[in-house]
Amino acid sequence: MGKFIKYVTIIGCILILVGAGMTTAAFSLGGNPFRAVEEVGVRFYEHGRELDDTFQELGEHIAANTASGDLVRPTASVVDEDSNYFEEQYPEVTHLKIEIKGGEVEVVSDPENNQLMIFCENGDPENLAFKNMDRYKKLELAVETDEEYLIHVPAEWRLDELEIECKGGVFRGENIRVNDMEIAVGGGEVDIYQIGGESTSIECAGGVVNWTGEGELSRKIDVECAGGKVILSLDPGVEPEKVGFDIEYAAGAIDFYGEEFSGVGAQRRNAKDGMPHLELDVAGGMVVVE
C-alpha cells in the first residue's frame, strides 16, 4: 500500500507541474492568466476524477485477485506432536497442487464427507498452504522424505485443476474427478485414475507414470517423455482405430495398441466420432497407449 500511495503522489506532482507550465506559457504569450488558471483547474479536476476512477477499479481488481493468502489453519485440526500426526479439513478446494520430493501420498474419493480431509503421519502442518481467492481456492502440499499423507476428496466434488510434481516417492490417486490435470515426473512413481475432465498433460523425465482415464472420451491428452515410462490406459469405450494423434519420436519408443513406433519419425491422424486426441512427443523413454 505504501508503494501505491507513493505512485499516486508522484502522478499528482506531475500534473501540478504540467499545470504550472501551462500557466507560465499563458503569461509569456500574453494570454489571460486568470482564464489559464481556470482552464487548468477544470482540466485538473476532470483528469483527477478519471484518475480516481481508474485507481478505484485497479484497487478493486487487486483486492479481488490477491485476497488472503498463504496459510489458513482450520479450526478442527488435530495435532499430535509426539507422533508427528495431524489432520486437516477444508470445506472448499478448487485447485490442488502436490509436490513430492519423497514419501508417499494417496488421494481417494470419499462418498461420506463433504470436506477435503488430510491425514498425515510423520509430516508437518507447515507443508500445507491454502490460498483463499475470490476466483479459486487453492491448496498446496509439499511432501518430504518419509512423510505419508492420505487425502480424502468428497466424491461429489470435481476439482478445476490438479497439479502433481513428483521428484521421488510415490503418488496414488483413486477415482479423481478433475477438469484439468497436470503431471510432471522426474523420479518416483505416479499411479492415478482420472474420471472425466477436459485435458490431461504429462511430462516425464524419469520414473513411471501409470494413468487411467474414464469418461469424457473427447478429452485432450498431451504427453512429453524424455525418460522413464508413461502408460496411458484409455476408457474401455474408446475405439483405437478412431483415436486421433500427433506423434513425434526421436530416441524413445511408442507402443500404440500394439503398433510400435521407434527411431526417428512423426505420425498424424485426426480423431473420429468424438474419440480422444493424443499429442505424444517422445525424446527418450517409452510411452504405451492401451
Give the pLDDT confidence of 66-97 residue by residue, as tens digits.
444 545 554 446 777 676 789 999 999 999 99
* Window from 118-127, 178-187, 224-233 with minimum mean pLDDT: 118-127
- CB-based contact 258:238 (threshold 8 Å): no
Confidence of residue 23 (pLDDT cuts 50, 70, 90): low
Distances (CA, A) of 154 to 119, 151, 177: 14, 10, 10
Average pLDDT for residues 217-229, to the nearest whole number? 91
- Average per-residue pLDDT for the chain: 83
- CB-based contact 238:218 (threshold 8 Å): no
Does pLDDT of 202 surpass 80?
yes
Between 65 and 86, name the one with better pLDDT.
Answer: 86
Q: Which three cell numbers stand for residue 194?
A: 482420472
Between 48 and 221, name the one with better pLDDT.
Answer: 221
- CB-based contact 165:203 (threshold 8 Å): no
Residues 6+ apart with CB under 8 A from 5: none
Average pLDDT for residues 248-267, to the nearest whole number? 94
Distances (CA, A) of 13 to 24, 38, 53: 17, 18, 18
Q: Which three cell numbers stand for residue 112?
A: 461420506
Predicted TM-score (pTM) of this structure: 0.74
pLDDT digits (tens, 9 = 90+) for 226-237: 999 999 999 999
Give residue 250's pLDDT: 92
Closest Cα to residue 159, out of 206, 236, 97? 97
